[in-house]
Homo-oligomer: A and B are copies of this chain.
Amino acid sequence: MATIPGANPIDTVGAIPPGLRPGANVASALAHTARLHPGRPAVVDGAVRHDYGTLERRVAGLGGGLLGLGLRAGDVVGVLSLNSSRHLECWLGVPRVGLVLNELNTRLAVAELAFILDDSAARALIVDDTFLDAGRSLVASCSHLHHLVHMAGDGTAPATAADGRDIVNYETLVAPPAAPMTDSRTDDLAGIFYTGGTTGRSKGVMLTHGNLVANAKAMLIELRYTAQDRYLHAGPMFHLADGAATFAVTWVGGTHVFVPSFAPGPVAAVIEAERVTVSTLVPTMINLFVNAPEVAAHDLSSLRCIMYGGSPMPAAVQQRAQEVLGCETVQCYGMTEASPAGTVCRIDGPVDEEPWATRVRSAGVPFTGVEVSVRRSDGAVADVDEVGEVWLRGPNIMAGYWRRPEETAAALTSDGWYRSGDAGRMDTDGYLYIVDRMKDMIISGGENIYCTEVEAALISHPAVLEVAVFGVPDDQWIERVHAVVVLREPGAACEEDFVTHCRPQIAGYKVPRSFDLRTELLPKSGAGKILKRELRAPYQ
């Protein structure tokens, strides 16, 4: 390795520097617990209950099975599944043997999934019952994708895919022989997680074993999970908002509890039945949850802490959440590129008095071991309370974007800072306030929606002259996708036409929920840039 400038030449001793040593496999979190507490309850998924010894055996079996298909270290494995204990096994078993996990957003259109699987060059895809048909289409269309694995609810799998290829039964894969854990180094790749691209194109965030370990430690230090915790996977497991807790909970030997997908009634029922103590939600889910009448019938007293992220929670929702949940709510700010821990806001005083009356609207303070800085456009550190771009640095920051060297170079500075693209300010006490998403992104129902992607879908309609998409406040979704469309001629198209036009191109949740159709041109800056701020103003 290169000599590090300014440091003592410790590399001259010939030993591997500590920062690049093996032994960093993130799946060691499971091995650790399985060794010490094999009998502890690891997963509760309906009738499926495994202790940590069993989970470790299954995960080791999954690794062995995947290698048995002919996959080799560094190969990418896609996973398209609702929440389940088997889905957790994929999170652990794929990186365990040096393979790279490619979690897929279950709400994407098949065309979008195909783009991602082609881009990541995934060689295998694991699907559950819900996504078997999608899996069949994908394995037929993606050139690198050679293996389709089916996690069948009844334990069996259909013999063949549409093109005559064998479909692998997941339970066969999990059976012995097991594979040993790969002796991964800190900087070995553990997963590729796709986020919406500013240019419309989705791009893969490369997270290393060291990144995920760093996030897990940050979560353990701040959220203080213990073996007594029972963590509910309520939000989608493909998303790092939920994934953030996965390795941390495993490391301390807590119990993973699952619901297939979020719905207030079933979530409340599981919290009561399984004495759930902790979970992660997005504000939209909390909003739905606390306003659902069926929740009131359930005993939620086991809850000790709900972490939420994605966007700040309106004060009214926050207050109602406090009443209904009756536990601590901790806001976190982060992003896939940060694995995802960035900042954390633990309320530590009465919220009807300062400083907490103000601070509850903040994103909090950096996680232990993460640096956060607000910068001007020239990279200089902004003053207290001055709005600038939020930069983050730490062992949790991604290695880069998968096969996008230019975008990596734009996102990561030469001294290791990640430029988030979010606008924020930091107060005199070091609390971060997110002012705006610089990247022109909407967070609706916890999903990141890049406006450019929606605009690209709309502009391809022949009646459209100009378009601007942005988020407007919404009771249910916190923000909803709104489109201002300039028609070439009055009455050339209606809202229905645009919805129909968008559906095959982008996921349902990205399609605008409200429109403003007009013929008047959009306001623009001197440089010709559409002034979204002006368009947005009447909605604030």
A contact residues vs B (CB 8 Å cutoff): 1-2, 4, 6-8, 10-24, 28, 32, 35-36, 73-74, 98, 100, 182-189, 206, 208, 210-211, 213, 217, 220-221, 224, 251-252, 365-366, 368-369, 371, 393-395, 397-401, 404-405, 408-409, 412, 414-417, 429-430
Report how many copies the assembly holds.
Answer: 2
Q: A15-B412, A22-B415, A28-B371 are in contact. List 10 more A-B contacts (CB 8 A).
A: A7-B73, A8-B74, A14-B408, A17-B186, A21-B415, A23-B415, A24-B395, A186-B395, A220-B368, A251-B368
Q: Are A416 and B1 in contact (CB under 8 A)?
A: no
**Cβ-neighbour of A371 out of B14, B23, B220 (below 8 A):** B23
A428 to B183, CA, bound (A): 23
In the complex where A368-B220, A371-B23, A430-B35 touch, is A17 in contact with B415 (Cβ < 8 A)?
no
Q: Are B186 and A6 in contact (CB under 8 A)?
A: no
Q: Are A187 and B400 in contact (CB under 8 A)?
A: no
In the complex where A2-B1, A36-B430 touch, is A187 in contact with B18 (Cβ < 8 A)?
yes
A23 to B1, CA, bound (A): 19
**Cβ-neighbour of A18 out of B36, B395, B408 (below 8 A):** B395
A17 to B73, CA, bound (A): 19
List of B residues within 8 angstroms of A24 by Cβ: 395
List of B residues within 8 angstroms of A189 by Cβ: 7-8, 10
List of B residues within 8 angstroms of A187 by Cβ: 4, 7, 10-11, 17-20
Q: Are B399 and A17 in contact (CB under 8 A)?
A: yes
In the complex where A10-B399, A74-B8 touch, is A369 in contact with B213 (Cβ < 8 A)?
yes
What are 16 A-B pairs at a CB distance below 8 A?
Answer: A1-B20, A6-B182, A7-B188, A13-B409, A17-B187, A18-B397, A18-B399, A19-B19, A19-B186, A19-B208, A20-B187, A21-B415, A32-B366, A217-B217, A251-B368, A252-B368
